[in-house]
């Protein structure tokens, strides 16, 4: 049976004893009813995988001893999906979960001309990423930015190979082919809102060197497009 897996918001390599935060302590001691001597797994979301044993099963400040630590290198290619926020927040949350499971390294909530403005709950979104990382048994947590205007994301994309997926019937490359053929160490894909990017937004992206791409023959909902793009870029 797999050991229970928990996230550490802070870890200093070399630490021998670690006091878990109150939420993790409560889950370990009260929910799972774990006791002294039992083992669990910990990760800091930055590559470290720790095997630890409980020294003090305190329900608010559980103390564990690290018995083994392994650093797992991250992906050789960084993949960032910048996707417009959605009016239905649960659909954006679904995207966050699936993109994390697939293994993207960065997620940018985009603010576009046609984005339906909404309150972005950063803490809630971050917790979704953590849960998805643990569920998929990974040790790297995607970097989640705060909602960012499209123009700013494009300006900051220099050094990355960038793609923009849009629905305008013009010449576009297949993302499946373009991403696979690329030797770039960092890739960025832009996914627009319901109603797609505007003409001006597309021209701005193309003028900055981003490559127009298609995700397939059917028109996808925004969150589906985000997951398809993540899959094509991460899974080879």
pLDDT tens digits, 133-147: 999 999 999 999 999
Q: What pLDDT was estimated at residue 175?
A: 93
| Interatomic CA distance for residues 155 and 78, integer angstroms | 18
8 A C-beta contact, residue 179 and residue 85: no
Mean pLDDT computed over 208-224: 93
pLDDT in tens, 155-182: 998 888 999 999 888 889 899 999 888 8
Percent of the chain whose pLDDT exceeds 70: 99
Q: What pLDDT was estimated at residue 76?
A: 87
Q: What pLDDT was estimated at residue 236?
A: 66
Task: Please provide the average confidence, as pLDDT, over all residues in the chain.
Answer: 94
Q: Which domains does the chain have, with CATH numbers?
A: 5-71 (2.40.240.20), 78-234 (3.40.1280.10)
- DSSP code of residue 46: B
Q: What pLDDT was estimated at residue 80?
A: 97
Closest Cα to residue 20, out of 51, 53, 63? 63
Helix (H) or strand (E) segment spanning residue 122: helix 122-135
Q: What pLDDT was estimated at residue 204?
A: 96
Q: What pLDDT was estimated at residue 2?
A: 86
pLDDT in tens, 67-118: 999 999 998 889 999 999 999 999 999 999 999 999 999 999 999 999 987 7
């Amino acid at each position: 049976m797999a050991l229970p897996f928990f996230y550490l918001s802070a870890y200093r390599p070399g630490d021998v004893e670690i006091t878990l935060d109150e939420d993790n302590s409560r889950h370990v001691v009260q929910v799972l009813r774990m006791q002294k001597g039992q083992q669990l797994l910990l990760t800091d979301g930055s590559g470290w995988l720790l095997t630890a044993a409980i020294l003090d099963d305190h329900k608010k400040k559980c103390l564990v001893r690290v018995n083994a630590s392994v650093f797992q290198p991250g992906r050789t290619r960084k993949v960032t999906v910048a996707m417009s926020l959605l009016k239905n927040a649960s659909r954006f949350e679904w995207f966050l979960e699936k993109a994390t499971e697939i293994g993207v390294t960065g997620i940018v909530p985009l603010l576009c001309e046609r984005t339906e403005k909404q309150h972005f709950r950063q803490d809630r979104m971050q917790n979704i990423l953590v849960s998805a990382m643990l569920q998929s048994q990974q040790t790297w947590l995607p970097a989640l930015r705060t909602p960012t205007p499209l123009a700013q994301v494009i300006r900051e994309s220099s050094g990355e190979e960038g793609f923009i997926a849009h629905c305008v019937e013009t010449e576009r490359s297949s993302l499946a082919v373009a991403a696979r053929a690329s030797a770039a160490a960092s890739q960025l894909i832009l996914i627009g809102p319901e109603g797609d990017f505007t003409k001006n937004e597309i021209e701005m992206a193309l003028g900055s060197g981003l490559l127009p791409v298609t995700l397939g023959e059917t028109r996808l909902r925004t969150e589906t497009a985000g997951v398809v793009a993540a899959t094509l870029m991460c899974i080879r």
